[in-house]
């Protein structure tokens, strides 16, 4: 899964901070998050609910709504992975409209809520297609049928209303909708959380096939780490609005370096391979208004060190696989000591 020459960067997010409200009672739901999305890759974003995944995704796509507010940071889109970048945070609404769906599409968690209940399924495709392409109505409708066919929905469903479809069909329809203008990037916020496990696997497999066919990049958000391992090239793990671990999917699954990632991995059954004993993470997600000092995970951490309460660990930059954890630093230190001992 690790590519020899990394693909060019499509989306570059730098030190993004998003707050709810402003002034004294501002809640910082995303805190200095940086990551890159490469062309054609599937980047998984994992974390318990409340860790700021959706807030991050709506901010990256400029879909955040009040009281959410981007406090600082940058989001740069490089069309086709080119050197020139478009500063999404500085773009005007009209400039954004040009990019939307044409380059950047989204899939939401609840397809029932994301589809207009009073509009035929096909019309919701036609709307998107005709906003960006100069095609006739008839052509747009047959394009909608094609798209439904891609995700295994009978084409006669194009004239159905959302409530007439099953949950799995609706979810697949929103994925088909995201493909309408063949975007480069699709941001999916928990697209499989609302469907059952069988449908979940079907959707994941179909997504992988479509990715091979069309070559788009996906940011796939979920709280289910074992699902991500099946799907993603790289995974980033979020806790309390920060990235606590970033690395290749296999490395994070085999060798999670942050105790939180370990806990997350062990709280979902793997889709393949031997069953592990399932353990939840003790305690509950932190109150963002009153974060613990030092490492935010420290009160729940089974491997807590005394200095965890005072020192906030940073995510190491420019490494294949890194975790924001003090243990990690002492582990690195230990490796260094060992090699020094050997060399002596």
Ligand X SMILES: Nc1ncnc2c1ncn2[C@@H]1O[C@H](COP(=O)(O)OP(=O)(O)O)[C@@H](O)[C@H]1O
| Contact positions with ligand X (CB under 6 A) in 245-304 | 288
Query: Tokens 């991500």 belong to which residue?
Result: 228
Q: Which of 67, 269, 282, 283 binds ligand X (CB under 6 A)?
A: 67
Q: Which of 50, 73, 70 minimizes the C-alpha distance to 62?
A: 70
Instruction: Indicate whether 51 belongs to the interface with Mg ion (CB under 5 A).
Output: no
Instruction: Indicate whether 54 belongs to the interface with Mg ion (CB under 5 A).
Output: yes
47: partner contacted, choices Mg ion, ligand X, other proteins, none (Cβ within 5-8 A by kind) = ligand X
Q: Which of 1, 15, 22, 49 binds ligand X (CB under 6 A)?
A: 49
What secondary structure does DSSP assign to 77-126, as a single string?
E-GGG-S--EETTT--HHHHHHHBTTTEEEE-S-HHHHS-TTS-HHHHHH
Point out the residue whose Cβ comes nearest to Mg ion.
54
Task: Pick the closer one to Mg ion by CB: 54 or 61.
Answer: 54
Query: Tokens 């009073």 belong to which residue?
Result: 118
305: partner contacted, choices ligand X, other proteins, Mg ion, none (Cβ within 5-8 A by kind) = none
Distances (CA, A) of 39 to 6, 74, 187, 209: 9, 19, 13, 16
Q: Which of 87, 164, 196, 320 binds other proteins (CB under 8 A)?
A: 164
Looking at 49-57, 126-134, 173-181, 319-327, which segment touches ligand X (CB under 6 A)?
49-57
166: partner contacted, choices ligand X, Mg ion, other proteins, none (Cβ within 5-8 A by kind) = other proteins
- 167-178 helix and 197-214 helix, angle to the nearest 10 degrees: 20
Instruction: Indicate whether 27 belongs to the interface with ligand X (CB under 6 A).
Output: yes
Handedness of CA 162, 165, 171, 173 (dihedral sign): negative
Q: CA geometry: angle at 281 spanning 277 and 283, to 5°? A: 145
131: partner contacted, choices ligand X, other proteins, Mg ion, none (Cβ within 5-8 A by kind) = other proteins
Burial bucket for residue 23 (CB in 10 Å: 0-12, 13-18, 19+): exposed
Instruction: Indicate whether 282 belongs to the interface with other proteins (CB under 8 A).
Output: no
Residues 289-308: x where in contact with other proteins by CB under 8 A, - otherwise, as a string: --------------------
The answer to whether the CB of 323 falls within 8 A of the CB of 259 is: no
Q: Which of 243, 214, 335, 289 minimizes the C-alpha distance to 19?
A: 289
Looking at 157-165, 211-219, 223-231, 301-309, which segment touches other proteins (CB under 8 A)?
157-165
Instruction: Indicate whether 50 belongs to the interface with ligand X (CB under 6 A).
Output: yes
Instruction: Indicate whether 53 belongs to the interface with ligand X (CB under 6 A).
Output: yes
Nearest-angstrom CA–CA distance, 54 and 35: 15
| Contact positions with other proteins (CB under 8 A) in 185-244 | none
Task: Pick the closer one to Mg ion by CB: 121 or 236.
Answer: 236
Looking at 18-26, 49-57, 173-181, 315-323, which segment touches Mg ion (CB under 5 A)?
49-57
| Contact positions with other proteins (CB under 8 A) in 108-127 | 108, 110, 112-119, 127
Instruction: Indicate whether 51 belongs to the interface with ligand X (CB under 6 A).
Output: yes
Q: To the nearest 10°, the Cα dihedral for 7, 11, 17, 22?
A: -170
Nearest-angstrom CA–CA distance, 194 and 197: 10
Q: Which of 8, 17, 15 minimizes the C-alpha distance to 34?
A: 15
Q: How many residues does the chain have?
A: 344
Pairing of strands 242-248, 234-239: antiparallel
Q: Which of 74, 81, 132, 291 binds other proteins (CB under 8 A)?
A: 132
Nearest-angstrom CA–CA distance, 342 and 344: 5
Instruction: Give the residues lining the site for ligand X (CB under 6 A).
Output: 20, 27, 29, 47, 49-55, 67, 288
Instruction: Give the residues lining the site for other proteins (CB under 8 A).
Output: 61, 63, 65-66, 93, 96-102, 105-106, 108, 110, 112-119, 127-128, 131-132, 154, 156-157, 159-161, 163-167, 169, 174
Instruction: Give the residues lining the site for Mg ion (CB under 5 A).
Output: 54
């Amino acid at each position: 899964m690790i590519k020899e020459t990394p693909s060019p960067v499509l989306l570059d997010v730098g030190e993004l901070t998003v707050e709810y409200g402003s002034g004294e009672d501002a809640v910082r739901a995303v805190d200095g998050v940086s990551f890159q999305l490469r062309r054609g890759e599937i980047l998984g974003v994992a974390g318990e609910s409340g860790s700021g995944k959706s807030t991050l995704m709506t901010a990256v796509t400029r879909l955040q709504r009040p009281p959410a507010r981007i406090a600082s940071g940058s989001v740069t889109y490089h069309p086709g992975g080119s050197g020139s970048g478009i500063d999404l945070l500085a773009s005007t609404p009209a400039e954004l409209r040009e990019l939307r769906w044409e380059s950047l599409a989204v899939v939401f968690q609840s397809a029932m809520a994301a589809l207009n209940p009073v509009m035929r399924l096909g019309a919701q495709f036609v709307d998107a297609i005709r906003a960006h392409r100069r095609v006739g109505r008839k052509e747009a409708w047959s394009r909608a049928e094609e798209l439904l066919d891609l995700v295994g929905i009978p084409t006669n469903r194009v004239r159905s209303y959302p409530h007439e479809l099953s949950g799995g069909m609706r979810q697949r329809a929103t994925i088909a909708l995201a493909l309408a203008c063949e975007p480069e990037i699709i941001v999916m916020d928990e697209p499989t959380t609302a469907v059952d496990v069988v449908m979940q696997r079907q959707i994941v497999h179909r997504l992988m096939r479509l990715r091979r066919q069309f070559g788009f990049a996906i940011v796939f958000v979920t709280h289910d780490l074992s699902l991500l391992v099946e799907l993603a090239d790289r995974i980033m793990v979020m806790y309390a609005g920060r990235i606590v671990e970033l690395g290749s999917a296999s490395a994070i699954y085999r060798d999670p370096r942050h105790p939180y990632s370990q806990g997350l991995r062990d709280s979902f059954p793997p889709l393949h391979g031997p069953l592990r004993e399932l353990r939840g993470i003790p305690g509950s997600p932190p109150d963002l208004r009153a974060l613990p000092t030092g490492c935010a995970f420290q009160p729940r951490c089974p491997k807590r060190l005394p200095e965890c309460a005072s020192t906030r660990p940073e995510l190491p930059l420019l490494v294949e696989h890194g975790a924001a954890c003090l243990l990690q630093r002492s582990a690195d230190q230990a490796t260094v000591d060992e090699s020094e001992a050997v060399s002596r």
